[in-house]
Amino acid sequence: MQMHPFGTSFYNSIHRRLCHSLQRSEFYSTIFLCFCSNLRVHCKSLKMKKNLTLSYLLVLLACSESTFTNAQTSSSTGLKDYYKKYFPIGVSVMPSNLKGDEAELILQQFNSLTPENSMKMAPIHPEESRYYWNDADSIVAFAQRNGLKLRGHTLCWHNQTPGWLFKDSAGNAVTKEVLLQRLKDHITTVVSRYKGKIYAWDVVNEAISDKPDEYLRPSLWYQICGEEYIAKAFEYAHAADPGAVLFYNDYNEINATKREKIYKLVKGLKDAGVHIGGVGLQGHWAINEPSKEQLDSTLKKFADLGVKIQFTELDISVYPKEHNARERKPQDADTAFSAEKENKQIEEYKMCFELFRKYRNVVSGVTFWNVSDRHSWLDNFPVRGRKDHPLLFDRDLKPKKVFWEVVKF
């Protein structure tokens, strides 16, 4: 039996390093083995064989590690490509994101868009007789032009809702009948405009109360219309575009008490024959939550409903989770993206995507909330002006270490 010039363990060690550096590429591993084999055949002396083989190994290893370093700073394979057999990977956008380097990153990495603010009620319908379409239209046009899927967000919410909806000309609260008619007019107008261009809508957003002993949020929608406004919103949306997948969307879904209330609402709508096709779990998480048990039990719970699940607003803050806005404290001055914060974020993202893949039969989309760490809504929540780093791309739009862990499966 012919012996390797440096012993089997030497070659195996170098081979493992090469394969790791090249992200386990079978193509490069094969080239490596073939060249080593050829060198052993053609070298006439053991000394030449050692020198040439060693020289080649060192050159190839240096090239492979350089290739991997370059790949880590500029991935031509996007998130959407790694997950093409699983689910679409989306991102929330404003019109300003759709030009320059951010637009390039979006097209490289994502295959689905969600308007961050442009389709919410106040921005798109500021006055009863006036709609503002420019921003929403620009996002729809970008998606259409580039073959991207598009989610609509959101048709009915207690926040970013124009005050005129709830008042008559005298400034008094409108009746239930008037408010439902205004809701119908709004939903019909907006959904009809984008029929066939938006494949899914967040119809009702955050209707569940955060208080443990309270079921529905006591919003003006609820105070005037009662619970009926929720089913009516789905009815109006389905009538305007029967082909769209309609979602109920909410946050803090990993909390067991709130999870049960969200489940109760969605199941009740489904049992009543309301056209609801999915539940949107926002996924505004942090380095200390959710636990694997929390997320797994949440996914299992909603999978049993027989509707699709989408993670609609995903980000993972590098600070411990806080649910309410607060004033700045001295310790908030430390906004450095330390190795400790990075490692905790990596572990949390890895765990989340492992479970997303586990439930691939019911998870039909994952959308990140904002494009990169260059800008995040978490820069101003819960503490205004405290820089966060919650996404997979840094402020220079380069993949962070966490990116490579999310796509390594």
Q: Any residues with CB less than 8 A from the CB of 278 and at least 6 apart, and which?
A: 200, 245, 246, 247, 248, 307, 308, 309, 310, 364
3-class DSSP assignment, residue 33: helix
> Rounded to whole angstroms, how far apart are CA atoms 216 and 264?
11
227 is catalytic: no
Kindly name the residue from 116, 206, 253, 348 that is annotated as catalytic: 206
> Rounded to whole angstroms, how far apart are CA atoms 332 and 323?
16
3-class DSSP assignment, residue 60: helix
Kindly name the residue from 116, 253, 313, 348 that is annotated as catalytic: 313
Structure tokens at 258: 């709130």
> Rounded to whole angstroms, how far apart are CA atoms 327 and 370?
24
> Rounded to whole angstroms, how far apart are CA atoms 138 and 155?
18
> Rounded to whole angstroms, how far apart are CA atoms 274 and 338?
48
> Rounded to whole angstroms, how far apart are CA atoms 319 and 72?
25
Other residues' Cβ atoms within 10 Å of the Cβ of residue 116: 22
102 is catalytic: no
Q: Judge contact between 302 and 250, C-beta under 8 A.
A: no
3-class DSSP assignment, residue 227: coil
> What residues act catalytically?
206, 313
